[in-house]
């Protein structure tokens, strides 16, 4: 089976809300199953549409469960394994987690470590977007459909950004290398306020989200250096880990494997290309 994966930049107007778009194509025989795909915890909320409505499943509860043809996936703190069968085309929208509240008025905590069929949102506009995507395999056209829908959502935003949303932005800007104390000082709030708001809206503590973002940036560097010699000590220091052992422990916790396995072979890990393509 041939598998191709690419990521694409959102328009400038949507960059405060959308991390990127992605397209993954599995080109196999009708009865052929893909190698297991590993979705890493990268601190994002996603809409995923299986545009040709293929047979896809996720490993959950010690068994394979069928995936909806269109789903919302929340922030995870563990890796998720899934597979496709035959010829499958999957399109995804990766959101910054606070966007779930700002665009859809739903706290990301409602989907922490979970996913749901998009039809459960009872939103006619999102159902229309998904319907328009079915049967479309050209990434530029899929992105146009997504951006038409999302730009309409952005126009309806009237509320000011809340302090937990600003904290999430600061964590990403610092690549996870920031203390909770510094966040609270910058935002003029107490640590208790920040902890409570993160758990109520994101589902994870600010410390957990910080660790996920730090892992994401370390993982990006590891993937970029695939098949090259890496100084694990230097990489650990660059990303704010206490030492190499701390980095490897965190990496294993979030990915399920040691970082050397990522550099030694082409693994089934995706959702973070080293390059982004324009629309």
Intervals of CATH 2.60.120.10 along the chain: 2-154
Residue 272 has a pLDDT of 52
Of 3.40.50.300, 3.40.1360.10, 2.60.120.10, 3.40.50.720, the CATH number of 2-154 is 2.60.120.10
DSSP SS3 for 91: strand
Average pLDDT over residues 146-162: 85
pLDDT, tens digit, 9 for 90 and up, residues 234-276: 889 889 898 899 999 999 999 888 887 776 655 555 555 445 5
Question: What are the backbone dihedrals phi and psi of residue 75, each rounded to the nearest 5 degrees, phi first?
Answer: -70, 130
Intervals of CATH 1.10.10.60 along the chain: 163-270
For domain 163-270, which architecture applies? Orthogonal Bundle (1.10)
Residue 274 has a pLDDT of 47
Residue 152 clears pLDDT 50, i.e. is over it:
yes
* Nearest partner of 88 among 129, 34, 41, 44, judged by Cα: 34
Residue 267 has a pLDDT of 53
Tokens 């080109």 correspond to what residue?
Answer: 27
pLDDT, tens digit, 9 for 90 and up, residues 47-100: 999 999 888 999 998 899 999 999 999 999 999 999 999 999 999 999 999 988
Residue 14 clears pLDDT 50, i.e. is over it:
yes
The model's confidence at residue 167, banded by pLDDT at 50, 70 and 90, is: very high
């Amino acid at each position: 089976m041939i598998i191709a994966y690419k990521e694409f930049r959102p328009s400038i107007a949507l960059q405060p809300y959308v991390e990127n778009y992605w397209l993954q194509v599995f080109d196999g025989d009708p009865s052929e199953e893909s190698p297991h795909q590993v979705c890493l915890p990268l601190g994002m909320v996603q809409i995923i549409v299986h545009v040709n409505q293929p047979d896809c499943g996720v490993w959950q509860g010690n068994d394979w469960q069928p995936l909806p043809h269109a789903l919302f996936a929340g922030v995870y703190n563990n890796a998720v394994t899934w597979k496709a069968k035959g010829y499958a085309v999957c399109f995804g929208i990766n959101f910054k987690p606070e966007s779930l509240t700002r665009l859809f008025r739903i706290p990301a905590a409602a989907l922490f470590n979970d996913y749901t069929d998009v039809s459960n949102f009872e939103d006619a506009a999102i159902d229309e977007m998904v319907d328009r995507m079915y049967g479309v395999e050209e990434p530029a056209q899929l992105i146009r459909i997504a951006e038409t829908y999302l730009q309409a959502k952005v126009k309806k935003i009237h509320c000011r950004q809340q302090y937990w949303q600003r904290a999430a932005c600061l964590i990403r800007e610092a690549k996870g290398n920031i203390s909770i104390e510094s966040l609270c000082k910058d935002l003029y709030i107490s640590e208790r306020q920040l902890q409570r708001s993160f758990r109520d809206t994101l589902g994870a503590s600010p410390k957990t989200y910080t660790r996920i973002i730090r892992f994401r940036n370390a993982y990006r560097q590891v993937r970029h250096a695939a098949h090259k010699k890496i100084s694990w000590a230097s990489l650990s220091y660059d990303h704010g880990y206490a030492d190499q052992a701390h980095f490897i422990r965190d990496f294993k916790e979030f990915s399920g494997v040691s970082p050397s396995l990522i550099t030694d072979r082409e693994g089934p890990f995706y959702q973070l290309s080293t390059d982004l393509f324009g629309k």
